[in-house]
Chain A
Amino acid sequence: MVRLEKRPSPSRFWTMATPVVAVALTMIAGGIMFALLGKNPVEAIRTIFWDPLFNEQFASYSRPQLLVKAGPLILIAVGLSLGFRAGIWNIGAEGQYIIGAICGAAVGLAFYPVEAWYVFPLMVIAGGLGGWAWAMIPAILRTRFATNEILVSLLLVYVAQAILASMALGALRNPEGGGFPGSRNLSQYPAAANPELIAGTGMHWGVVAAFIAVIAAYVLLHRHMLGFSIRLAGQAPRAARFAGVNPDRLVLLCMGLSGGLAGLAGLFEVAGPAGQISIDFGSGYGFTAIIVAFLGRLNPVGILLAGLLMALTYIGGELAQFMLGLPSAAIQAFQGMLLFFLLAVDLFSNYRLRFGKREAV
């Protein structure tokens, strides 16, 4: 008979090992899924995880894409992880991402066609503030009225999507676009563009911001009183209250930080890779970032690696779609599966398996 015994403290080995085991198990289960779809599983896995980086034909295109996709994922996930650690569940990052992009783009478009150095910095500020403000709605509702922040932040995603559609069709529509939905292309407006900084790497300001966020979050969590409060509030809420941690302040702070970072991610995306506000601008980064945050064990460095891996599945998924005709939805299911396996394997971090009959107590 197998039974579980709680470990006094989480196993360090398993905390590091679970993401690796989970990825391996997902590859196996994903392979089975691809086989059921009538594709060669080995070829599909290789196309997703190997070809984007090492295939001579595609790597030159897809390697830079790795940073382009990983940038927003890491930026959002770092913000989310702070809240998740403290038991504050902001799952509406997708909405904050969209609102950040709209606010930032609106500032940029308002200055069009002024060519000045201050346009882009102002857009960055507007993007961050937009995301922050959108996240403040669930945060304030929670602290003032004890409303569940999970539901409110998620419902606001649908509201943000409706606002996005109305902006793309109305206020922000390109006046010279011949009536088509979508704004002016910001990447063709030099003062507002977020270009590739080093040619051929995919590095843009959003990626730089993501790296800064990783370092800042690491320092915050491990070297700062606030980081200690966040960790304490998550692990022992009662103890945190006795230690003088103000839970309301923590909610406002964590939600605000994660919303601001998601807004920044949206701004960098709209000014760079996406280029314009369009109806289908929201591409699900805000939701995938939740997987990234957990896969990275809510640890900034882990999130950096997890973001790169998740970006790889996006690019590899597109490649597999193109090369093998694998449906794009298969990749989404594959990413969801990864989170399942991660949560399942996580058992070993907190519990020990014991075999045999239990001793009499």
Chain B
Amino acid sequence: MDLSAINPAVLVASLMMAAVPIILAAIGELVVEKSGVLNLGVEGMMIIGAVCGFVVAVKTGSPFVGFLGGAAGGAGLSLIFALLTQVLLANQVATGLALTLFGLGLSSLLGQGFNGIKPPATGKVPMGPLADIPGVGPVLFQHNLGVYLSIAVIAAVWWGLKYSRMGLILRAVGENHDAAHALGYKVVRIRIAAILFGGAMAGLGGAYISLVRVPQWTDGITAGAGWIALAIVVFASWRPWRVLIGAYLFGGITVLQLNLQVANVPIPVEYLSMAPYLITILVLVIMSSGRGRAAAAPAALGQNFHASR
């Protein structure tokens, strides 16, 4: 056992990287849930994004195009969800589960023949002399674009929901779709747009896993990240900046347990690897038992809208 091998600066830097897929997926799902739709298919959209991103990146040789492919894949799958729940008024919980089951099957079908290939590398963002500052440099200025993008997306969603007119309408639809409809807003269209955004973000997060974090393609590569993203939305009480806290907490535990595995801590690997899931459950319990939780969730969450008049 050798704990001195764990370097705190590297630990922080790698937890920021580990959190990126979950931030992207969770912030997308946050927007979806703010519009009053519960899409439990995040895991399915992430894994489709992972495989699409990987295949596109390998075929084109460009990780950037790969990320676009991943986002398109995730959005494509979420379109099925949008069609089923918004147009055909299917149960959202059941449809979300179907999305995950279908996504897991389809992804390993699409990924055949891509096992064991290395994707084109995604470079770090050049930060010049900033990257060489001791301590701060490795933590803040030696990342690839995804890390900065994830934070930028949180800021954009926070600003958009809070200050823009579009955000206000989206929240209105999520709180009371009948009232929003009466005011003349197109409830179904707004929700479909939100679902597509959520799908694209989940796909982007998935592509980040297969292109940067792992980086290769194996079946079931997302390993529950989509479900953790869903849990983090609840943890965040539907507030964008808290998604960052939740995802960094989760990322930290994931990275720490991996480091402990490497450092030969006398705990079996299996028990270390279940830690992130157990901690997520624990955090969920703490968050949901607090007061005012019911008020935090969008009022129309999970309810289908059918204009009767």
Contact = CB atoms under 8 A, between A and B. Distances in A.
A340 B98 CA distance: 6
4 A-B pairs closest in CB distance: A336-B102, A332-B105, A333-B105, A166-B270
Contacts of A285: none
Interface stretch (A52-60, A62-70, A255-263, A287-295): A287-295
B142 to A, nearest CB: 31
A343 interface: yes
A344 B281 contact: no
Interface in A317-335: 327, 329-335
Interface stretch (A108-116, A141-149, A235-243): A141-149
B277 interface: yes
Nearest to B91: A343
B231 interface: yes
Contacts of A141: 281, 285
A294 B94 contact: yes
Of B91, B102, B293, most A-chain CB atoms within 10 Å: B102
Contacts of B280: 155
Given A147-B288, A158-B224, A162-B273, A335 B89 contact: no
19 contacts: A37-B109, A141-B281, A148-B231, A148-B284, A152-B284, A159-B274, A162-B271, A287-B101, A288-B101, A290-B101, A329-B106, A329-B108, A330-B105, A332-B108, A333-B106, A336-B98, A343-B95, A344-B90, A347-B88
Contacts of B59: none
B223 interface: yes
A344 B88 contact: yes
Main SS at interface, chain B: helix
Interface of A: 4, 6, 37, 89, 91, 141, 144-148, 150-152, 154-156, 158-159, 162-163, 165-166, 169-170, 287-288, 290-291, 294, 327, 329-337, 339-340, 343-344, 346-347, 350-351, 361
A45 to B, nearest CB: 17
Contacts of B288: 145-148
B28 interface: no
B274 A333 contact: no
B284 A147 contact: yes
Interface residues of B, number: 49
A165 B269 CA distance: 10
B109 A327 contact: yes
Contacts of A333: 102, 105-106, 109
Of B91, B105, B108, most A-chain CB atoms within 10 Å: B105
Nearest to A161: B274
Given A162-B271, A343-B95, A350-B89, A155 B102 contact: no
Contacts of A156: 277, 281
B103 interface: yes
Interface of B: 40, 80, 83-84, 88-91, 93-95, 97-98, 101-109, 112, 219, 223-224, 227-228, 230-231, 234, 268, 270-271, 273-274, 277-278, 280-281, 284-285, 288-289, 293-294, 306, 308-309
A158 B90 contact: no
Given A148-B234, A150-B40, A155-B227, A339 B89 contact: no
A154 B308 CA distance: 36
Given A145-B285, A155-B280, A336 B103 contact: yes
A343 B84 contact: yes
A296 B230 CA distance: 28
A161 to B, nearest CB: 8
Given A155-B227, A329-B219, A350-B89, 8 more contacts: A146-B289, A151-B227, A155-B224, A155-B228, A156-B281, A332-B108, A336-B105, A347-B90
Nearest to B234: A148
A223 to B, nearest CB: 27
B306 A4 contact: yes
Nearest to B93: A89
B102 A340 contact: yes
B245 to A, nearest CB: 18
A91 B97 contact: yes
Given A163-B274, A361-B309, A343 B281 contact: no
A335 B100 CA distance: 12
A339 B102 contact: yes
B29 to A, nearest CB: 12
A91 B223 CA distance: 16
